[in-house]
Amino acid sequence: MSFTSPKSSTLTAPLSEIIRFAGFTLRCTIPAETVAQGVSHQVTTFTLSDFSRTFVPAGAAVNVIGSDHSWGSHHFVLGDSVIGGTFYGAFPDLVVGGNQDTDTGTGARGRWIPSSSVDEYASTLALWYGLSSTELTTVFPNIGSFMTNNLGFMMPS
């Protein structure tokens, strides 16, 4: 099984199979092993990126269709110390050219600013990992620009 780009000729499994494999690994293999080792409350698996794409593709011809850089994306956090069962942040209205789209006019392509910053998300995890609140601004110098330094999705350690 290969995890290269779908455009690559080295892709040997369909995307649906890769997603099933990743889902099984995240849902079964990792939790079972951490329980067996007695560390499940100390292990957290998460995704992290501040990268996204515009909602409306650029170009029209097959060889030039793509999307431009944007902000925000969906992430997940897994582990016994995660306070799950809810979403954190607000989902955008997805109205291209609407009042939440930072693009305007006839060229609007759907760029929404996330309601929760990657700094808030990462600092929540860093605090759980043991970073002290006094070290927070050293690691996340922009954290003071946001509503909180802890989104509340981790149980106190």
* pLDDT tens digits for range 108-129: 888 888 889 899 999 999 999 9
- pLDDT for res 146: 93
Q: How many CB atoms lie under 10 A from the CB of residue 84?
A: 10
What pLDDT, on a 0 to 100 scale, did the predictor assign at position 5?
46
Q: What is the pLDDT of residues 54-90, one digit of tens each?
A: 888 877 666 666 677 788 788 889 899 999 888 888 8
Note the pTM of the prediction, 2 decimals. 0.76
**Domain definitions of the chain by residue range:** 1-40, 44-145
What does the mean pLDDT of the chain come to? 84
Tokens read off for 99: 């009042």
Cβ-count burial of 112 within 10 angstroms (0-12 exposed, 13-18 middle, 19+ buried)?
A: buried
**Token pair recorded at residue 96:** 């291209």
How much is the average pLDDT of 16-33? 83
